[in-house]
């Protein structure tokens, strides 16, 4: 009897929408029909609005159905799901032909959703660990040079050239050095790090091992936020399997080189996404920001030279080593080379992960990929780059997304989160929330951030209550300047960005007194 | 099993705390892994355990208290049988989490950082669960629930209470 293969994703989004129940109903239905069914719990393809996205292997390729709720399973089977028939309203045709997926340039995310995230065989079949093998065949400087030629810049938000960090650590005298992966993905609207860790965990492991070889570090830590229990479970298991198979640990792949890797959990502090605060936390302290210099590349974790890179920067490395830095640099525009993982979130009809070369415009992204708002109402504002990013009005949706272009109008690409809001949003609420969030998450070390955020909420409340609004607006503008200029790190230094953007582009929402019981 | 998480009555002895500490104290930067392990096992980090932790990891009590209080995740009080976190961040705001949070507070009859009078549910805010295309999102212990609505939450809250009745 022929085996039928069905894929049901196991990433957080699919699970949050009932993927486990879908899988067990499929299993039960197959048993009742005496069908030989193999269910693969793959990662997500990143088409979040279609989750749970169920796929069936056919002679023509994998066909998709979604979003599949547990209650849909029986009807889908009646309509020929196990045979790959496409008669049901949830049928989507060949997965690879879904325009949202077909129109992307997936270099880093080429495997997500395709494979069983924990299968080493799946990973190596699709060129997994080829980058590591090439790195093992070069000397350390050769690896750094390859990354240099790719033009890769830090994907966490600061956009600092990755190879310069690596070169600095490489050039430090031999001794204990560390690779630290920043997986404290706290920006609302971002989930790309999570997708890597849940859907293609060996990619991050490979990237970190290569980084270790490049700078002479034998120990790596992944600092993962505690809000990601599923990523923790999957990634922890992946480390253990990679170690058993000889891709990690002493004498990896019989090369004579060592690289050890461990996951450390954060504990619910947004500030620990800031690299020096993260290092303090890893050392077991309060996550207070450190003054720079010294740079972490010279005095980082436990005072030793440390590479601190975002998940997405490290996940880009295996492709760069495997295909060459130039192949990566061939994508992109200006000084922003390669691809960017954009994450469409918030009030969007088709939310999910969109990996594209730099240069696409926000409007193309939000309309062609996102399909407009989920509510069907007009789009009013979009926040790019997390809670510290400005709210962009329609006049700014046509500039191509790249680091310099966005910086030119005060925008932030950040970690690539794109949060869409329809016209029911009260931008005054959003400005207030930016300050409130900072007051909750400030580490407290510097005054502009610690006190400024609290005063910011108060001043905005007075403005919105109509209390000497004009005078208080001047005060708010002054407070924002103080925070931008006087804060120790980006938390206090950028919290004013969303507030200032509301003052500039949506002043009516801020000044208009709040209607009783209204939005 | 729905809403699986290690339930604990919070009971502990100094010897048990010491065991957990000893299993972690040789790690570099042992403090956070140790605090996590204690909270995972006993549901909280008892105030009275702080001197033991301080002694074993060579910190002052004030240091340990400062570390615990810095991180939102750590708690020194035993929570309800379930911890419900509502995402308050921007992507969920754009999908109606402000209305959802009012509903949740009204249904449970508590504000954030409080536990229902029957000791069943502790309500906490959270800033992003990484489910930003499918919000509003809430977390119940270690399970994430997306596209949350008032009606779905009511069913969930009922289930959480019903499970307890079965256990007893």
ipTM: 0.95
Instruction: Name A359's Cβ contacts closer than 8 Å, sequence gap at least 6.
Output: A332, A333, A336, A400, A401, A402
Show the CA angle centred on residue B101, arms to residues B97 and B107, nearest 5°.
140
Predicted confidence at residue A1, as pLDDT, reads 63
Q: Are B139 and A227 inside 8 Å of each other by CB?
A: yes
Q: Are B130 and A191 inside 8 Å of each other by CB?
A: yes
Predicted confidence at residue A195, as pLDDT, reads 98
Best A9, A10, A12, A16 member to test B by mutation, with max B CBs in 10 Å, is: A16
A2: number of Cβ within 10 Å: 6
Does the CA dihedral B17-A441-B146-A62 come out positive or negative?
Answer: negative
Instruction: Name B128's Cβ contacts closer than 8 Å, sequence gap at least 6.
Output: A185, A186, A187, A188, A190, A227, B87, B89, B91
Residues of B with Cβ-Cβ distance to A430 under 8 angstroms: 90, 93
Please compute the mean of the pLDDT values over residues A394-405 and round it to a whole number.
Answer: 93
Task: Select the more confidently predicted residue: A516 or A4.
Answer: A4
Nearest of B70, B12, B72, B69 to residue B38 by alpha carbon:
B12
- Confidence class for position A475, pLDDT limits 50, 70, 90: very high
Show the CA angle centred on residue A408, arms to residues A404 and A410, nearest 5°.
110
Q: Judge whether A194 is closer than 8 Å to chain B, CB to CB.
A: yes
Q: How far is residue A220's CA from residue A306's CA, in Å, rounded to a whole number?
A: 9
Instruction: Name A243's Cβ contacts closer than 8 Å, sequence gap at least 6.
Output: A249, A261
Q: How far is residue A446's CA from residue A462's CA, in Å, rounded to a whole number?
A: 25
Residues of A with Cβ-Cβ distance to B98 under 8 angstroms: 429
Question: pTM surpassing 0.90?
Answer: yes
Of the candidates A16, A264, A430, which has its C-beta nearest B144's C-beta? A16
| Residue A227, CA distances (Å) to A137, A272, A290 in order | 38, 13, 24
Q: What digits encode the pLDDT tens for the residues A217-269? A: 999 999 999 999 999 999 999 999 999 999 999 999 999 999 999 999 999 99
Predicted confidence at residue A54, as pLDDT, reads 98
Q: Judge whether B57 is closer than 8 Å to chain A, CB to CB.
A: yes
At what angle are helices A192-199 and A311-323 packed, to 10 degrees? 60
Predicted confidence at residue A458, as pLDDT, reads 98
Tell whether the model's pLDDT for residue A434 goes beyond 80: yes
Residues of A with Cβ-Cβ distance to B28 under 8 angstroms: 302
Tell whether the model's pLDDT for residue A490 goes beyond 60: yes
Tell whether the model's pLDDT for residue A194 goes beyond 50: yes
Q: Which residue has the tokens 């809430």?
A: B138
Predicted confidence at residue A76, as pLDDT, reads 98
Q: How far is residue A280's CA from residue A287's CA, in Å, rounded to a whole number?
A: 5
Q: What are phi and psi of A338, to 5 degrees?
A: 85, -155
Q: How far is residue A497's CA from residue A430's CA, in Å, rounded to a whole number?
A: 12
Q: How far is residue B124's CA from residue B114's CA, in Å, rounded to a whole number?
A: 8
| Residue B106, CA distances (Å) to A432, A498, B100, B110 in order | 23, 30, 10, 7
Mean pLDDT of chain B: 93
How buried is residue B105: exposed, middle or buried, by Cβ count under 10 Å (0-12/13-18/19+)?
middle
Tell whether the model's pLDDT for residue A513 goes beyond 70: no
Q: What are phi and psi of A54, to 5 degrees?
A: -95, 135
Q: What digits encode the pLDDT tens for the residues B51-96? A: 999 999 999 999 999 999 999 999 999 999 999 999 999 999 999 9
- Confidence class for position A42, pLDDT limits 50, 70, 90: very high
User: In degrees to the nearest 10, what's the CA dihedral of A325, A330, A331, A332?
Assistant: 100
Q: Judge whether B54 is closer than 8 Å to chain A, CB to CB.
A: no
> What one-character-per-residue DSSP string does A117-182 give?
TT-HHHHHHTTTTHHHHHHHHS-HHHHHHHHHHHT-B-TTTT--BHHHHHHHHHHSPSS--EEEEE
Question: How far is C-alpha A158 from the chain's CA centre?
Answer: 14
The answer to whether A372 and A349 are in contact (CB under 8 A) is yes
Best A11, A13, A274, A374 member to test B by mutation, with max B CBs in 10 Å, is: A13
Best A187, A227, A373, A432 member to test B by mutation, with max B CBs in 10 Å, is: A227
- Strand pairing partners for B139? B85, B144
Q: How far is residue A434's CA from residue A439's CA, in Å, rounded to a whole number?
A: 9
Of the candidates B32, B133, B145, which has its C-beta nearest A281's C-beta? B32
B121: number of Cβ within 10 Å: 23
- Confidence class for position A179, pLDDT limits 50, 70, 90: very high
State how far residue A356 is from chain B, nearest Cα, in angstroms: 18
Nearest of A120, A148, A146, A153 to residue A131 by alpha carbon:
A146
Tell whether the model's pLDDT for residue A363 goes beyond 60: yes
Q: Which residue has the tokens 């009922």?
A: B158
Please compute the mean of the pLDDT values over residues A124-142 and round it to a whole number.
Answer: 98
């Amino acid at each position: 009897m022929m085996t039928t293969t069905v894929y049901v994703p196991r990433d957080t989004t699919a699970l949050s929408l009932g993927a486990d129940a879908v899988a067990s109903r499929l299993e039960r239905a197959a048993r009742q029909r005496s069908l030989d069914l193999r269910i693969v719990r793959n990662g997500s393809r990143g088409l979040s609005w279609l989750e749970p996205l169920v796929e069936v292997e056919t002679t023509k390729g994998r066909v998709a159905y979604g979003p599949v709720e547990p209650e849909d399973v029986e009807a889908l089977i009646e309509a020929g799901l196990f045979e790959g028939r496409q008669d049901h309203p949830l049928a989507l045709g060949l997965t690879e032909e879904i325009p949202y997926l077909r129109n992307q340039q997936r270099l880093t995310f080429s495997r997500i959703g395709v494979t069983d995230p924990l299968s080493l065989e799946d990973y190596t079949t699709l060129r997994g660990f080829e980058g590591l093998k090439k790195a093992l065949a070069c000397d350390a400087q050769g690896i750094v040079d390859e990354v240099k030629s790719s033009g890769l810049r830090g994907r966490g938000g600061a956009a600092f050239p990755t190879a310069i960090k690596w070169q600095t650590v490489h050039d430090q005298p031999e001794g204990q050095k560390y690779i630290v992966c920043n997986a404290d993905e706290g920006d609302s609207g971002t989930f790309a790090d999570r997708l890597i860790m849940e859907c293609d965990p060996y990619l991050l492991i490979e990237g970190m091992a290569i980084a270790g070889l490049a700078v002479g570090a034998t120990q790596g830590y992944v600092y993962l936020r505690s809000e990601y229990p599923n990523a923790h479970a999957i990634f922890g298991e992946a480390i253990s399997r990679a170690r058993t198979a000889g891709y990690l640990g002493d004498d990896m792949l019989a090369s004579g080189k060592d690289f050890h890797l461990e996951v450390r959990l954060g504990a619910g502090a947004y500030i620990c996404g800031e690299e020096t605060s993260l290092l303090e936390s890893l050392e077991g302290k309060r996550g207070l920001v450190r003054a720079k210099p010294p740079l972490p590349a010279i005095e980082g974790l436990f005072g030793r030279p440390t590479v601190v890179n975002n998940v997405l920067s490290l996940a880009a490395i295996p492709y760069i080593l495997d295909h060459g830095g130039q192949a990566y640099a061939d994508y992109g525009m200006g000084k922003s080379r390669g691809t960017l993982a954009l994450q469409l979130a918030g009030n969007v009809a088709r939310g999910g992960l969109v990996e594209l070369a730099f240069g696409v415009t926000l409007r193309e992204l939000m309309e062609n990929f996102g399909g407009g708002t989920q509510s069907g109402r007009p789009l009013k504002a979009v926040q790019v780059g997390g809670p510290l990013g400005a709210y962009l009005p329609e006049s700014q949706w046509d500039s191509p997304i790249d680091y310099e272009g966005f910086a030119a109008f005060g925008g932030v690409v950040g970690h690539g989160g794109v949060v869409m809001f329809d016209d029911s949003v009260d931008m005054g609420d959003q400005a207030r929330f930016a300050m409130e969030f900072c007051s909750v998450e400030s580490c407290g070390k510097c005054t502009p951030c610690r006190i400024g955020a609290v005063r910011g909420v108060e001043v905005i409340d007075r403005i919105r209550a109509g209390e000497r609004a004009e005078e208080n607006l001047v005060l708010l503008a002054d407070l924002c300047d103080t925070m931008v200029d006087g804060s120790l790190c980006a938390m206090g230094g950028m919290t004013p960005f969303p507030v200032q953007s509301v003052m500039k582009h949506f002043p009516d929402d801020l000044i208009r007194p709040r209607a009783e019981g209204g939005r | 099993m729905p809403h699986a998480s290690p339930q604990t009555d919070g009971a502990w002895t100094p010897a048990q705390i010491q065991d957990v500490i000893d299993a972690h104290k040789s790690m570099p930067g042992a403090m956070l892994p140790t605090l996590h392990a204690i909270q995972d096992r006993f549901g909280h980090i008892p105030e009275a355990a702080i001197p033991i932790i301080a002694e074993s990891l060579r910190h002052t009590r004030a240091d340990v208290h400062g570390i615990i209080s810095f991180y939102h995740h750590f708690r020194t009080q035993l929570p309800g049988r379930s911890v419900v976190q509502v995402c308050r961040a921007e992507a969920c705001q754009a999908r109606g989490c402000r209305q959802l949070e009012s509903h949740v507070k009204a249904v449970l009859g508590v504000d954030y950082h409080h536990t229902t009078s029957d000791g069943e549910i502790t309500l906490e805010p959270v800033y992003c669960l990484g489910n930003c295309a499918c919000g509003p999102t809430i977390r119940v212990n270690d399970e994430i629930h997306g596209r949350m609505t008032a009606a779905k939450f009511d069913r969930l809250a009922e289930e959480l209470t019903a499970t307890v009745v079965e256990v007893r």
